[in-house]
Structure 1
Amino acid sequence: MTLRHLFGTTLATTAAAALALLGVAGPTHAADIGTTPGTYTNYSFSGAPALTEVTWSTTVLHDPGYTSNVFWSHQFGFNQGNGAYLGMQSNGGSSRVLLFSVWDVSEATAGSAGSWCQSFGGEGEGMSCRMNLDWIAGHTYTFKVAAEGGGWFGATVADTTAGTSYKLGSIKTPATAISPSAWSTGPSTSSGTTPAPPATTSRSATSASGCPRATAVRSPRPSPPPRTAETPARP
């Protein structure tokens, strides 16, 4: 199968430089107003009718600071029902969190010790399974979603640098598989704005995402044709 990438974001610094050449005032830098611009990659798998398991990876290269509001997310859909997302958040000074959320559902069960599931509202409604984790910049975290049968999908997060893993929980959906199209990966503000740290400690939220891996639904192999018994020739 082929992974098609569509890079949909131009760096803000490049846009500002272009505007300066044209004599137009560029946008205020994020550190000046306390906002973090989003950078997204949209992509899909071709040649796969549906997927039973997908694994993404995220490495935060430069931590924007504990008081930042940044969400490094992986968004996807199902073959039935609404969409979902999972990833890692920095919550403006509150405990950092890993989460797995699905819109328009009402059943969920927690995973590893310390995880919990709750309903959410605001930008749509649904269920979210979460775990507080003070994740570490420079470590690579993989996020796996897998079909568990009966419409249930479970999410597991692994710190591949430290060799630890956690199950966030399972959420019941009307789906049987993960859609191979309309995916999106990238960081964004989790609360609209990010309080700007002092100028002496201002840092950008730089991250890297690995190429996702997926397992497709396997079609049953056709049965071989029945063998015809051969009658030995008479002498």
Structure 2
Amino acid sequence: MSTHLRHDLNLLLTTLLTGKLPRSLSWADTLALIGHIGEVQPHGHDESVFIVRSQRAFFKHPHTHDLGVEEVARLRKFLRDAGPELPASAPSQPCRMVVVIDHHGAHIYKDVDGKVPESEHTGRPYDPFGFHHHLIHKKEANYKGERVPEDKTFYEEIAQDLLPANEIVLIGHGTGKSSAVDHLAEYLKANHHDISRHIIAIETADLSALTLPEIEAIAKQHMIAVV
């Protein structure tokens, strides 16, 4: 058992123990996590035994590359019963980002760490997200009209900004080939699986009338504040 987890496994363990339950979970990531905090033993041709402290559980190898939501829930119960302590280096709160994208550009918002600076004495209610503090920047696509840009650099630049995120909400308008948000999601899935697996929601909205409080409200429907 390793006493030091990789950063991504730190985040995964924290999410499984205290965060929003993932809809699916990579089997490879599951094996890596259990192998670091405990032991994985093969059992037959389609099953593995997970051992963490005094707890043992059998998990069938998924037919796809991911565990389904029911197995993820069972994994959470197993980990909580095993009682592994959160690593000291585990972050107190995930890095959460929101992308609002249309055919003309993308606004990328990042939350703060949930702590009000000591010098900031305001009557503002505690907000563990605070997306309004971090408008990262706006990227403009170099084209005109209503078609999704063919220039992949537009989406690649967004992908690079999303590298630190472990919870991502995408907001756009329209669906299918004409939708920039769907195009971004497909691009990330095809070219950046490590980023794509952190997308927890894709929402559609009228971006022409969308306000910042509404953006925050959409994000908070899907994100969990870990405090």
Greater helix share, structure number = 2
Q: TM-score category by the smaller chain?
A: under 0.3
- Give the number of the structure with larger relative contact order, counting CA–CA contacts within 8 Å between residues 6 or more apart: 1
Greater strand share, structure number = 1
Question: Higher Cα Rg: structure 1 or 2?
Answer: 1
TM-score, normalised by the number of residues in structure 1: 0.24
